[in-house]
Structure 1
């Protein structure tokens, strides 16, 4: 079975003025990666509560973040051939991706879809408890983009296996 490609975004906060600060992927082969995004000068929104969750400071983004256009090109290179990636927070992630590509002056070569589209009712019923068990079992650090994307992928796989046994 081919695993779906999952995308996760950490952001400066939620709502108006927020922007992507880290984008992570879990690829079909099970590998994962993430890049920090260097905020543009006009991206000033910063929610200290969000920083407490993801642990990424503005100073670190300025130091280690990649330019918006470079991150957008990387996403197109990674996802263009596949054509689709999935997110568990489609509303937020799609908004942040649109913002990233708009400021990069590029169009995405892929579409982002809601992960829920891949799940049947049995998987949905098992989702939360399975995800929490995997966090515990694997010691996954939540709220970092690559780890969260991989966690989603592993939860998808395990709920599929458990649903098939029912």
Structure 2
């Protein structure tokens, strides 16, 4: 029987720090499938960091045209995660702030909580995490800094570090 993978959530944003807001949210589900949604910026969400755009490659114009309304994305997240009750993030401080902003502006409460992925990791997993993640990026040609792919990368890194530890007998 294969182990259940943690559900991982990742958020891309307009930048870091004051005034930044979520622009894309992605989930890697326990079965390994993943999906992501672009978020239409609200009128008052004006902060835009060109350096962040260079990383994720998503323009503000694209968000305006292709993004989903804030309330729709919040509903989707609640529908996806309500039963599980939680999802994990590798950047809890940032992702939790952006998630709170999203739900606040949607006028809704999240029906799940976001937890730090590191609480699931043993010391041995943490020790091989970075190298394992880099190897997976190279091996699988993963496009970084897109929410769905980053969430799946984290999930795969979790899975591979568990296998490494198990096979090394640690």
Following superposition of structure 1 onto structure 2, how do residues 99-138 of structure 1 map, counting pairs within 5 Å? 99-138=101-140
Q: Which residue of 2 aligns with 1:19?
A: 21
Alpha-carbon distance in structure 2 between the residues aligned to 1:65 and 1:114: 27
1:2-45 Cα shifts (integer Å, max 9, x gaps)? 10000000000000000000000000000000000000000000
Following superposition of structure 1 onto structure 2, how do residues 1-166 of structure 1 map, counting pairs within 5 Å? 1-166=3-168
1:164 Cα deviation from its structure 2 partner: 1.1
Using the size of structure 2 for normalisation, the TM-score is 0.97
1:65-120 Cα shifts (integer Å, max 9, x gaps)? 00000000000000000000000000000000000000000000000000000000
1:156 Cα deviation from its structure 2 partner: 0.1
1:50 Cα deviation from its structure 2 partner: 0.1
Using the size of structure 1 for normalisation, the TM-score is 1.00
Stretches of structure 1 lacking an aligned partner (at least 5 in a row):
none
Stretches of structure 2 lacking an aligned partner (at least 5 in a row):
none
Alpha-carbon distance in structure 1 between the residues aligned to 2:103 and 2:140: 33
Q: Provide the aligned C-alpha RMSD in A.
A: 0.3
Alpha-carbon distance in structure 1 between the residues aligned to 2:64 and 2:41: 7
Alpha-carbon distance in structure 2 between the residues aligned to 1:79 and 1:40: 24
